[in-house]
Amino acid sequence: MPPPRPPERSHPLARLELSRLSKLVDGFREVRLLVVGDVVLDEYLWGEVERVSPEAPVPVVHVQRESAVLGGAGNVVRNAIALGAHCEFCTAVGDDRAGERVLALLGELGVDASGTVRALDRPTTRKTRVIARSQQMLRFDRESAEPMPPRAVRELLRAVDERLPRADGVVLEDYGKGLLSPRLLRAAMRRFEAAGVPVSVDPKADLAAYRGASLVKPNLREAEALSGVRIRGPADLERAAQRLRRRLGGAAVVVTRGADGMTLFADDGPGVEVPTPRREVFDVQGAGDTAIAALTLALRAGGSLREAAVLANAAAGVVVGKIGTATASPSELRAHLPEALAAAEGGGA
């Protein structure tokens, strides 16, 4: 096991610089991420609506094509790879056709699927969406949120042990499907701390097991639920975030606020707002996965938290302009950087 790495030191700039942000994007190629979390098979039925059913007052969708991509923690992997990073993945699927499809999609990405555990008594999580006229008409889910059996937990921790020595950073992506149970998290966090590898968390449940993480990225609704603070304004947001920081042992908290960008809490002071450009939004699905991937890559490439937030806003801005679970490429990210930078500078430091 390598010696522990020194604690992170941010180097905030008096002014954000476009050339510096572009250089950080170049640095993504040198970063190796380990993603651990709930994988989802996102399925799509694409079609057109031409009439209302005579059987019930519902539209009839004439399905013209079908597609499937990795969602959940798998979408973090997709985004990290699309942005140029190296990525390994530890997750679990059921012993079913959907699980086979997940393995095939990982292979298409060039990701070693041996970190994927077969949980025989659980189905692979599937979310099937019907899309017509660029709008989601319906979604139906097949899943289980029960904790994984002890055997599967042991196998997953062995997979983590094998990959951790190669990782520059870890992303824990919790979609509430039972993989990141308190038992698994406590064991995994001990390993990450011993290896000195920084951990970013996209949480869904109680934060106690994530103590020791370096960054946590809830959205507004999650920040309310996790802190117990009703957020009606900036003062409430600060109180909620500082409560989360105390529970986490001082981790940076980045609260994503949709079209309003992000607010950063890296110390005991007030938050730093990083606004995002206004743009036409087609689908917010997966934008949080893009944000945690870009935030983590930027930090591991040597960026400050504010620089990482600008890059994450730009990357999320790319994917919300697409339909379905999407990714951003380095060229798309660079194209959005000038307006993301202008919006951030307009928000002050």
| Dist. CA 218–CA 31, nearest whole Å | 23
Contact 229, 240 (CB under 8 A): yes
Establish whether 267 is a catalytic residue: no
Q: Which two tokens stand for residue 212?
A: 């020791």
Q: Which residue has the tokens 């009703």?
A: 230
Q: Which two tokens stand for residue 262?
A: 């992000």
Catalytic residue from among 168, 202, 283, 289: 289
| Dist. CA 158–CA 180, nearest whole Å | 15
| Dist. CA 17–CA 22, nearest whole Å | 9
CA–CA distance from 140 to each of 52, 205, 279 (Å)?
Answer: 20, 23, 29
Of the candidates 308, 199, 197, 313, the one whose C-alpha atom is nearest the C-alpha of residue 251 is 199
Torsion of CA 194, 200, 204, 205, to 10 degrees: 30
Of the candidates 29, 95, 16, 19, the one whose C-alpha atom is nearest the C-alpha of residue 307 is 16
- Reduced to 3 states, what is the DSSP secondary structure of residue 139? strand
Query: In terms of residues, how long is the chain?
Result: 349
What is the 8-class DSSP label of residue 81? Answer: H
Torsion of CA 334, 263, 294, 119, to 10 degrees: -150
Query: Which spans in the chain are helix H?
Result: 18-27, 73-82, 97-109, 150-163, 182-195, 220-227, 234-248, 287-300, 305-319, 330-346
Contact 328, 322 (CB under 8 A): no
Supply the residues annotated as catalytic.
289
